[in-house]
């Protein structure tokens, strides 16, 4: 039995898809105006885990993740410039080039992190007509109105506005810093469509002249286009609860007259050194940054998996180091089980059960990882290895691949990669050891070390590996 936490009800709910055996889900994707940072990636890892758990439960998936390549303004509440345009100006390229470049980079990051690409990853600019159609209908129904700079949604027509974030609009307005746009009927009204100034590069014809879609309408539209009126899960980062997702709810429910989404799921933020991570503070890292510092993207994935998705995750390099070591040891354990001569142990059934329970309890991956570690402490056997591979279908740590790779690296190091001079030094050291000249032996070991190799004594003799 799979349980998922629904932001809308603030409760874990037993999951039951609308359509038997199939899950439809929409996940807010990236705005491709820059490289995604590790905070972004945490959310996409969460989406990936969710997808894997659903599959683990036997569901077929119909997942959508949008690529926002227009209309996301500098403020989520529709003020400032379009991010794509700003980036284009800064990099002196067209917004389309920017979008293409960063979209590609985004998909590469997904691959590095072993994140499965959802079934559909539509670009906003490919669905402008559908968005216009959506806005036209809202205006017809009396939910939208025109101002000098665009079409806005009138939230006073949607009394349930705020139900996801549980905000009371009047209280909010009292103390908040809401930008005053005198043409808006209510401070929280948001743009469905923006009229484009002449110099705006991305613009399309519409019943209201040349313009471009609002960011929120993109998600509402794409969700409908691919998944229909109603779908099972909508996910995103917690920052989207108060504006973006409230607006999506308002738009879609205004249009179809009923809730579209059954379960709203949100992943918590990542912090850096106990403070918030944000582009404006400049304390963001990309996956490439981590790679340049010598980490494997899987180290980062492991790091994320160690904390539940609804808890803030404090990123530190100390923490990432711990993850790196832990993952390395995990793989070593795995190899030992893989090479074991004994086949199995029926008591393992309990681990399968515990693992599934953990994972199905609102994606309790930290607990599931603990189950895996405990299983690895069992006597070495193929059965444990098989269990680990089973677990990895959900964890996505590429365990099988890593084990293979680690083993073949070892073989290569043993067979050829050791240069003659290093072998000579090792032989000399062996002689020195036989002669009990330990000072010389240690000195030779140092020399080997300095040349970038590690010499280890084993009962079968010494072993050299590249550092």
Nearer to RNA, 139 or 265 (CB): 265
Q: Interface with RNA by CB under 7 A: which range of 58-66, 247-255, 325-333, 390-398?
A: 325-333
Nearer to RNA, 17 or 381 (CB): 381
Show Cβ contacts of residue 20 under 8 Å, excluding neighbours closer than 6 positions: none
Closest Cα to residue 456, out of 420, 421, 418? 418
Which parts of 161-190 interact with RNA (CB under 7 A)?
165-168, 171-172, 174-179
Q: Is 277 in the site for RNA (CB under 7 A)?
A: yes
Residue owning tokens 């677990």: 391
Nearer to RNA, 228 or 296 (CB): 296
Nearer to RNA, 196 or 265 (CB): 265
Least Å distance between CB 460 and RNA? 11
Q: Is 276 in the site for RNA (CB under 7 A)?
A: yes
Can you tell me the distance from the alpha carbon of 1 to that of 206, in angstroms, rounded to the nearest whole number? 48
Burial group, residue 256, by CB count within 10 angstroms (0-12, 13-18, 19+): middle
Q: Is 6 in the site for RNA (CB under 7 A)?
A: no
Nearer to RNA, 294 or 459 (CB): 459
Nearer to RNA, 17 or 385 (CB): 385
Q: Interface with RNA by CB under 7 A: which range of 18-26, 84-92, 329-337, 402-410?
A: 329-337
Least Å distance between CB 331 and RNA? 10
Q: Is 394 in the site for RNA (CB under 7 A)?
A: no
Please say whether the beta carbons of 371 and 379 come within 8 A.
no
Can you tell me the distance from the alpha carbon of 202 to that of 377, in angstroms, rounded to the nearest whole number? 58
Q: Is 321 in the site for RNA (CB under 7 A)?
A: yes
The contact pattern for RNA, residues 120-159, with x = CB under 7 A and - = no contact, is ----------------------------------------
Please say whether the beta carbons of 45 and 301 come within 8 A.
yes
The contact pattern for RNA, residues 412-441, with x = CB under 7 A and - = no contact, is ---------------------x----x--x
Least Å distance between CB 136 and RNA? 26
First-to-last alpha carbon distance for the chain, in angstroms, is: 47
Alpha carbon of residue 388 to chain centroid? 22
Can you tell me the distance from the alpha carbon of 134 to that of 121, in angstroms, rounded to the nearest whole number? 20
Which parts of 78-117 interact with RNA (CB under 7 A)?
79-80, 83
Nearer to RNA, 66 or 252 (CB): 66
Which parts of 332-391 interact with RNA (CB under 7 A)?
332-333, 361, 364, 366-367, 369-370, 373-374, 377
Least Å distance between CB 408 and RNA? 18
Query: How many residues in the shown chain lie near RNA by CB under 7 A?
Result: 88
Nearer to RNA, 94 or 307 (CB): 307
Show Cβ contacts of residue 71 under 8 Å, excluding neighbours closer than 6 positions: 82, 124, 194, 212, 213, 214, 215, 217, 218
Least Å distance between CB 462 and RNA? 8
Nearer to RNA, 139 or 351 (CB): 351
Q: Give CB contacts under 8 A, 24+ apart, made by 414-422.
A: 414/463, 414/464, 417/466, 418/453, 418/464, 418/466, 421/451, 422/448, 422/451, 422/453, 422/464
Residue owning tokens 């103390």: 175
Q: Interface with RNA by CB under 7 A: which range of 37-45, 257-265, 344-352, 387-395?
A: 37-45
Alpha carbon of residue 94 to chain centroid? 27
Can you tell me the distance from the alpha carbon of 220 to that of 261, in angstroms, rounded to the nearest whole number? 11
Which parts of 45-74 interact with RNA (CB under 7 A)?
72, 74
Can you tell me the distance from the alpha carbon of 49 to that of 21, in angstroms, rounded to the nearest whole number? 18
Least Å distance between CB 96 and RNA? 19
Nearer to RNA, 56 or 216 (CB): 216
């Amino acid at each position: 039995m799979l349980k998922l936490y629904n932001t809308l009800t603030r409760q874990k709910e037993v999951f039951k898809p609308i359509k038997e055996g199939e899950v439809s889900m929409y996940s807010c994707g990236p705005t491709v105006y820059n490289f995604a940072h590790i905070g972004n990636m945490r959310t996409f890892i969460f989406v990936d885990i969710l997808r894997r758990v659903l599959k683990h439960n036997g569901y077929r998936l119909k997942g959508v993740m949008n690529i926002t390549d227009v209309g996301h303004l500098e403020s989520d509440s529709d003020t400032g410039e379009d991010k794509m345009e700003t980036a284009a100006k800064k990099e002196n390229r067209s917004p389309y080039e920017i979008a293409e470049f960063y979209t590609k980079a985004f998909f590469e990051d997904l691959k590095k992190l072993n994140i499965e690409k959802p079934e559909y990853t539509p670009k906003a600019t490919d669905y402008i007509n559908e968005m216009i159609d959506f806005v036209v209908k809202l205006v017809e129904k009396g939910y939208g109105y025109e101002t000098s700079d665009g079409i806005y949604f009138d939230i006073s027509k949607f009394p349930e506005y705020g139900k996801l974030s549980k905000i009371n609009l009047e209280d909010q307005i009292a103390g908040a810093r809401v930008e005053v746009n005198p043409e808006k009927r209510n401070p929280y009204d948001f743009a469905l469509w923006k009229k484009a100034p002449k110099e705006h590069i991305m613009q399309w014809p519409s019943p209201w002249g040349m313009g471009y879609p609002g960011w929120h309408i993109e998600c509402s539209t794409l969700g409908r286009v691919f998944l229909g009126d109603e779908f099972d899960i909508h996910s995103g980062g917690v920052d989207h609860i108060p504006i973006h997702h409230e607006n999506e709810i308002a738009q879609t429910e205004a249009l179809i007259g009923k809730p579209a989404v059954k379960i709203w799921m949100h992943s918590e933020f990542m912090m850096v050194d106990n403070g918030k991570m944000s582009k404006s503070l400049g304390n963001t890292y990309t996956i490439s940054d981590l790679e340049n510092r010598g980490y494997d993207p899987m180290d980062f994935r492991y790091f994320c998996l160690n904390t539940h998705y609804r808890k803030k995750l404090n990123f530190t390099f100390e923490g990432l180091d711990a993850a790196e070591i832990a993952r390395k040891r995990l793989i070593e354990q795995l190899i030992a089980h893989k090479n074991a001569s004994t086949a199995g142990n029926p008591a393992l059934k309990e681990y399968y059960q515990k693992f599934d329970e953990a994972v199905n309890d609102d994606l309790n991956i930290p607990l599931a990882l603990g189950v895996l570690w405990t299983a690895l402490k069992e006597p070495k056997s193929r059965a444990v290895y098989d269990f680990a591979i089973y677990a990895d279908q959900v964890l996505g740590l590429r365990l099988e691949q890593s084990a293979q790779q680690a083993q073949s690296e070892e073989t290569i190091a043993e067979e050829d990669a050791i240069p003659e001079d290093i072998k000579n030094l090792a032989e000399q050291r062996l002689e020195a050891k036989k002669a009990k000249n330990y000072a010389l032996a240690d000195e030779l070991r140092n020399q080997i070390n300095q040349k970038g190799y590690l010499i280890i004594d084993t009962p079968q003799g010494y072993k050299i590996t590249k550092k």
